[in-house]
Structure 1
Amino acid sequence: MMEILSRISATDCVKLCHRVVDGLCGREPPCRSDYSTTWSLEEWLQLLDFLTSLFRLAVGNDIPDEEVLAKLSDADHSHAEAVLSVLRARWEEIRRALLDRTSSISSATLQDFDWQLKLALSSDKISSLNTPLLSLCLDVRENGALRPITMELNREEVSTLISSLEAANKVVLQLK
């Protein structure tokens, strides 16, 4: 696969790899029309897939430079070094993009919240309660739409919610 990369100069290879990383990070990917005279459509798609997979695999699995160079053994030394230099320079950016992609697997995200503490003095069944209740309003973005969620929690439910959020926070911190 890498032998087709040698159809462009090492300098152009660096530019192409930076554009591939841009695409991986959610920005504008390389444009096929810029390289239509160099590669066929099939070669272009294979090359993009190879480079994208290489960058994801190298960063996602924290592969050392020697293993990356081994995967690039088909390319001449200057092109392999060009790909490796882009990988080193944009490592942290690729890692953040992979983490963002992983964390966005769940389509619902919390955008904002508001809370109020209320004291329920009585109910229709009991004349005197004096129970504190937490009114929690969550604004959740799901599939691009903002959806309000309102709930009322007693002391035990608030304690359970806090424990769940602390456990979720520990998992998120372990991912970083």
Structure 2
Amino acid sequence: MLKPQRTDGGHRLFNDADIDRIREIKRWIDNGVQVSKVKILLSNENVDVQNVWRDQQETLLTYLQSGNLHSLRTWIKELGQDYPAQTLTTHLFIPLRRRLQCQQPTLQALLAILDGVLINYIAICLASARKKQGKDALVVGWNIQDTTRLWLEGWIASQQGWRIDVLARPLAQSTTP
């Protein structure tokens, strides 16, 4: 993606255009785009990062609608290796889950399948993270309906060095003193 000038000693010399290009590459990566896709995006400046994630949402929705849960699990696992949990949660899982949260039974079923697959994948990630050094933490929710969100937040925290357990059901907050 960059071809900087070189000194006689072989050191790289970056000009202002190179530095601008580096900043652009960093912006794409910070927005969750895979390094392997950045070159394509740089060649097409009109591409919007939201469109990239919308395409990923459509791919995920296609996997859900096909009913092939093995392929869905494999695809999510591959994404989990390419992107941090925070990026996937913010740009893919939460937006798609919002789209599926409605009164239509078919969409509710797809959301339930997605939530089950996500919780399963995240539980595996959390178990792996607990084998590493870190501080222990328990993710708890009070008066919430969306327990999958607890798992997503736990997954994010586990990638920040925490050894996470998730209280699988929300607690009712007591109103008595």
TM-score w.r.t. the length of structure 1 is: 0.26
More helix by share: 2
Specify the structure having the higher radius of gyration (Cα): 1
TM norm structure 2: 0.26
